[in-house]
Chain A
Amino acid sequence: DIVMTQSPDSLAVSLGERATINCKSSQSVLYSSNNKNNLAWYQQKPGQPPKLLIYWASTRESGVPDRFSGSGSGTDFTLTISSLQAEDVAVYYCQQFYSSPGTFGGGTKVEIK
């Protein structure tokens, strides 16, 4: 199975400041034939299921604010919240869907400083 490792485990950011979350896969999730990274990011708030934010590593899901952006390729990926809002307090997960089983990172908890 592909192992997904997120860092940091948690971070506290001031309102309006940038938050950066990293995700590393144990093998490349880039499918060379179509040049797509099979990597997604989710946001999960307490008591709710995960919400898809980003797929193909950098494509924002419909309705997701543009302060959320994804980048990276191969094995190293980043989720950036450009200007943290109070409603962004949550746990964020990366997921690879390159090979079965789709595996998730351990999560990064984002809080307000």
Chain B
Amino acid sequence: QVQLVQSGAEVRKPGASVKVSCKASGYTFTSYYIHWLRQAPGQGLEWMGIINPNGGSTDYAQKFQGRLTLTSDTSTSTVYMELRSLRSEDTAVFYCARVEYCSSTSCLLGAFGIWGQGTMVTVSS
């Protein structure tokens, strides 16, 4: 079955970086964009960025520009999310997700039908 499996929880100090992985299975990896979203404790969902595993092109939310890098490895069907210069406000659960139903104009956007299980990242001194 189609799955996205993420790496485990991380703890970092302020100013450090974190790299979270998202391994895809059950479908052709290069056929679907992968999005990253985050959810701070008790808060809502925030879109961070998108990567096209076929070629590696990316787009990031403005608030993460310069701190966020998404990469992909087609040999292992894995996408990586690296967030740098961490601060306490970055403490959150990070999710990778795949669009299942495309928007009316593009599959860059859509309803997310497949989600990773989430990775908790705690930033604390």
Main secondary structure of the interface of B (DSSP, over half): strand
Whether B116 contacts A52 by the Cβ 8 Å rule is: no
**Which of B12-20, B73-81, B99-107 is the contact stretch?**
B99-107
Instruction: Count residues of B near A (Cβ-Cβ below 8 Å).
Output: 24
Whether B109 contacts A40 by the Cβ 8 Å rule is: no
Docked complex: A85-103 residues within 8 A CB-CB of B:
93, 95, 97-103
In chain B, what residue has the closest Cβ to A41?
B111
- Residues of B with C-beta under 8 A to A36: 104
Whether B44 contacts A105 by the Cβ 8 Å rule is: yes
- Residues of A with C-beta under 8 A to B101: 40, 55-56
CB distance from B120 to the nearest CB of A (A): 10
Whether A50 contacts B103 by the Cβ 8 Å rule is: no
CB distance from B107 to the nearest CB of A (A): 10
Q: Is residue A74 within 8 Å, beta carbon to beta carbon, of the partner chain?
A: no
